[in-house]
Structure 1
Amino acid sequence: MTRPMEGIRVLEVAQFTFVPAAGAVLADWGADVIKVEHAEKGDAQRGLLKVLGLESASEGSTFVPIMEGPNRGKRSIGLALEKDEAREVLYELVRSSDVFLTNFLPDARRRLGIDVDDIRAINPDIIYTLGSGFGPNGPDAGKGGYDGTAFWARGGSADGATPSDSEFLARMPGGAYGDNIGGMTIAGGITAALFHRMRTGEAPVVDVSLLGVGAWATQFNVNLAMMMGGPLPKHPKKMPSKNPLTGVYQTSDSGWIQLVMLQPGRYWEEFVTAIDRKDLAEDPRFASADLIMENADAAVEILEAEFAARTRDEWVEVLGEIEGQWSIVQNAWDLAQDVQLRENGQIASVVDAEGVPRELVASPVQFDRKPLEITRAPLFAEHTDEILLGLGKSDEDLINLKIAGAAT
């Protein structure tokens, strides 16, 4: 299996999902990722006992999906960086690392001695990478942000996903939604920086903000608004259609089918024939693309009745072989069972700390069309001794570090 990041060491001083997700992707690609956690508290995300109103782990198990996803494949060391002894250990790791990855805020970075100048004074060739809420400059550079604030709310997605006649603001469709997108973005930035270093010998600083990722995700709307010189018009929940082959139709069992056939003239005859309404292909109201769009309201009314007469699974069978673009609307469980994901190795197998087989979503990039092989996330400070011994520390050194409260 191709592992393009083999031989690259990533030193991660980060919490929650946004930046750790980048470390997980790099670990998927073969990097040795050392996760530095506070010697007593660990990654703050380990303390989340409930997620989306549900228990974060099953009883009697160490397998916690909110930790496994953004931390699989890493090694964990517990260091109290506020102590000089722990900071010296960190600096030793810096000397042998290619990438330093953090999401700590500016004040914390300065206080702990892990800001850009601190790290590059020790290793000028390291790729210093910072994931932030709002970027390194401007009035909010020192402000913390989560994907719910910087990416979803401020980044334009929440407004764009909320119809004009909605009583409520749309919520993110999944936990750590923007964090995972942002983590993938950071991983890409790091690989580009490593490539630049290889070609030129220069090690650039990499910055990725959740706000910037949010703006990139909504760039079509943002760019259009800038061209228009003001906010875009808001649309109601049920938008008037100019193309009956683009839109969402509800099935008899309350499922949904999304149609996105942007060329109605091209796909109309095939579509109506597939749904046993060949008469619509001969209907003069729908004799051309222009007429289909002119009479879209009438076509939508007909199609709504057709879709409401069959179940979602029946529609999957009916539409299975047509050329036009469509999809069922899936929930999280549906997606986990999606044959396309599984046939392409996008659901990966892991074994948890208790030896129980588990599954996780794989990061989406593959090499040579082969599924990624991943391992579980580390338990808190699981590899402290292994990492310290790898630095040449003696057993006595380990004991002294632990007595001082510098390492766990």
Structure 2
Amino acid sequence: MDGVRVLEVAQFTFVPAAGAVLADWGADVIKVEHAETGDAQRGLSRLMGMPVGSGAFAPLMEHPNRGKRSIGLALEQPEALEVLHELIRGSDVFLTNFLPAARRRLGIDLADVRKINPDIIYVRGSGFGSAGPDSEKGGYDSTAFWARGGSALGTTPVGYDGLCVMPAGAYGDSLGGMTIAGGIAGALFARERTGETSVVDVSLLGVGAWANALSVGFAMLTGAPPPRQTDSNRARTNPLVGNYRTADGRWLVLAMLQPGRYWPEFCRHVEREDLIKDERFATAEALMKNAAAAADIVQDMLASRTLTEWVTRFAGMEGQWAIAQDPWEVSQDPALRANGLIAEVIDTDGTRRELVASPVQFDETGTQITRAPQFAEHTDEILRGLGKTDQELIELKLTGAIT
């Protein structure tokens, strides 16, 4: 993306996360923040019961904003809007998640932006899409992606007295941001080949439905929702697909979709070779017929040893399995680190920190990332790039048009 300029008028994580991915890929991303308050997300102090950051380093801001430059503009002022228009003229992509009413009020709707730069790719991230009854309505990933998109009920077992919540902050926002980045890449490619520009729309609801596409597809096929999962969390016809608790209360997730193929190997690794010839499990058909009994045996076996012991015993096993990891364990996952998917970044104090890298990798090379900008950190630099003199900068600051 070297040579591509993205102008981002957005806040929180959905949409800004797309800008972060494009910055990871080399684009020059200019983040427009309100001249007084900045991105509203800067005002959050806690998330999921934890402080959002440590000193100058806040993952809540770093994750969706790394690699960008920040300018503070009071878009409600004519002088600031003139600056924005200059930035629009020199940009390839205009990226926003402002609601339609705000876009109209500020003069940054599609027609407004295209009037200034007819070749710009206009990108809207929304809660529920640009058409339909909720096109003017805002949404967060907890509502549009998780609840309305089907994941909340889809992850909640039958009989559970409650509703499962998202496993992480900005869960749908991050997935949506990557989706938007892919859409922008496609639009840039199309413009390069055809000379035609595009309007790109991605909604949190659409991303949520895509994530649940198989369940939604089955529902449309049958005319009713598919059965919800039960507390057993195991496949009814395959004992080697499901979640099993270990002696120390940890969880192993087995996903060996060909039970006949993997059952003998599994039995050898758990030191129960007698089960290979057990007539109840001796063939794939018998194993599937007696899956419930086999699953009970597997649970009893796995509950007899700790997670560490099973990791050692499963080494070299062809069948697919995984540990249910907590966020710290994910951060230390050897596969992520071997592939450069945990990236180092230097914060404003010069301290070495780490962030999760965006998952797309080019030429087997880990992504090199830089920190997120401080609020309005690059205002002067960006405006000087537009040819503004020091006197003009002072005048704009005195009017409150820029920070």
Could you say whether these structures have the same fold, taking a TM-score greater than 0.5 normalized by the shorter chain as the test?
A: yes
Match of 2:57 in 1: 63
Q: Out of 314, 318, 322, which is 1:323 matched to?
A: 318
Q: Out of 286, 293, 296, which is 1:301 matched to?
A: 296
- SS of the residue corresponding to residue 57 of structure 1 reads coil
Task: Tell me the distance in 2 between the aligned counterparts of 1:148 and 1:324.
Answer: 35
Q: Out of 188, 192, 198, which is 2:186 matched to?
A: 192
Deviations for 1:209-249, whole angstroms, at most 9, x for unmatched residues?
Answer: 00000000000000110000112222321256211000111
Deviations for 1:221-279, whole angstroms, at most 9, x for unmatched residues?
Answer: 00110000112222321256211000111001111000001110001101101110000
Task: Tell me the distance in 2 between the aligned counterparts of 1:400 and 1:98.
Answer: 28
After TM superposition, the structure 1 = structure 2 runs for residues 156-171 of structure 1, keeping only pairs within 5 Å, are 156-171=150-165
Task: Tell me the distance in 2 between the aligned counterparts of 1:233 and 1:136.
Answer: 32
- SS of the residue corresponding to residue 286 of structure 1 reads coil
Match of 1:6 in 2: 2
Match of 1:43 in 2: 39
Task: Tell me the distance in 1 between the aligned counterparts of 2:228 and 2:326.
Answer: 26
CA contact (8 A) 2:20 2:67 kept: yes
Aligned length: 402
CA contact (8 A) 2:233 2:243 kept: no
Task: Tell me the distance in 2 between the aligned counterparts of 1:231 and 1:283.
Answer: 38
Task: Tell me the distance in 1 between the aligned counterparts of 2:25 and 2:70.
Answer: 18
Letter in structure 2 aligned against 1:52: M
C-alpha deviation, 1:90, in angstroms: 0.3
C-alpha deviation, 1:155, in angstroms: 0.3
Q: Out of 13, 16, 30, which is 2:12 matched to?
A: 16
Deviations for 1:37-65, whole angstroms, at most 9, x for unmatched residues?
Answer: 0000000000000111111122xx11111
1:27 aligns with 2:23: yes
Task: Tell me the distance in 2 between the aligned counterparts of 1:403 and 1:211.
Answer: 42
After TM superposition, the structure 1 = structure 2 runs for residues 258-337 of structure 1, keeping only pairs within 5 Å, are 258-337=253-332
What are structure 2's unaligned runs of at least 5 residues? none
Letter in structure 2 aligned against 1:344: N
- SS of the residue corresponding to residue 305 of structure 1 reads helix
Deviations for 1:275-315, whole angstroms, at most 9, x for unmatched residues?
Answer: 10000001111010110011111111111111011111111
After TM superposition, the structure 1 = structure 2 runs for residues 189-228 of structure 1, keeping only pairs within 5 Å, are 189-228=183-222
Deviations for 1:324-380, whole angstroms, at most 9, x for unmatched residues?
Answer: 111111010000000000000000000000101000000001110000100000000
* Runs of 4+ with >4 A deviation: none
1:405 aligns with 2:400: yes
- SS of the residue corresponding to residue 280 of structure 2 reads helix
Letter in structure 1 aligned against 2:204: L
1:130 aligns with 2:124: yes
After TM superposition, the structure 1 = structure 2 runs for residues 374-389 of structure 1, keeping only pairs within 5 Å, are 374-389=369-384
Match of 1:103 in 2: 97
Task: Tell me the distance in 2 between the aligned counterparts of 1:183 and 1:385.
Answer: 28
Deviations for 1:14-46, whole angstroms, at most 9, x for unmatched residues?
Answer: 000000000000000000000000000000000
Task: Tell me the distance in 2 between the aligned counterparts of 1:12 and 1:339.
Answer: 34
Task: Tell me the distance in 2 between the aligned counterparts of 1:27 and 1:90.
Answer: 20
Task: Tell me the distance in 2 between the aligned counterparts of 1:295 and 1:55.
Answer: 49
TM-score, length-scaled by structure 1: 0.98
Task: Tell me the distance in 2 between the aligned counterparts of 1:309 and 1:231.
Answer: 38
Task: Tell me the distance in 1 between the aligned counterparts of 2:46 and 2:292.
Answer: 45
Letter in structure 2 aligned against 1:353: T
Letter in structure 1 aligned against 2:260: G
Letter in structure 1 aligned against 2:154: G
Percentage identity across paired residues of the two chains: 64
- SS of the residue corresponding to residue 6 of structure 2 reads strand
Q: Out of 217, 238, 252, which is 1:243 matched to?
A: 238
- SS of the residue corresponding to residue 181 of structure 2 reads helix
Letter in structure 1 aligned against 2:289: E
Task: Tell me the distance in 2 between the aligned counterparts of 1:143 and 1:237.
Answer: 36
1:52 aligns with 2:42: no
Task: Tell me the distance in 1 between the aligned counterparts of 2:35 and 2:258.
Answer: 59
Task: Tell me the distance in 2 between the aligned counterparts of 1:270 and 1:54.
Answer: 43
1:344 aligns with 2:359: no
Deviations for 1:165-215, whole angstroms, at most 9, x for unmatched residues?
Answer: 110100101110000000000000000000000111110100000000000
The alignment yields a C-alpha RMSD, in angstroms, of 0.7
CA contact (8 A) 2:342 2:354 kept: yes
Task: Tell me the distance in 1 between the aligned counterparts of 2:123 and 2:299.
Answer: 50
- SS of the residue corresponding to residue 12 of structure 1 reads strand
Letter in structure 1 aligned against 2:291: A
CA contact (8 A) 2:218 2:225 kept: no
- SS of the residue corresponding to residue 15 of structure 2 reads helix
What are structure 1's unaligned runs of at least 5 residues? none
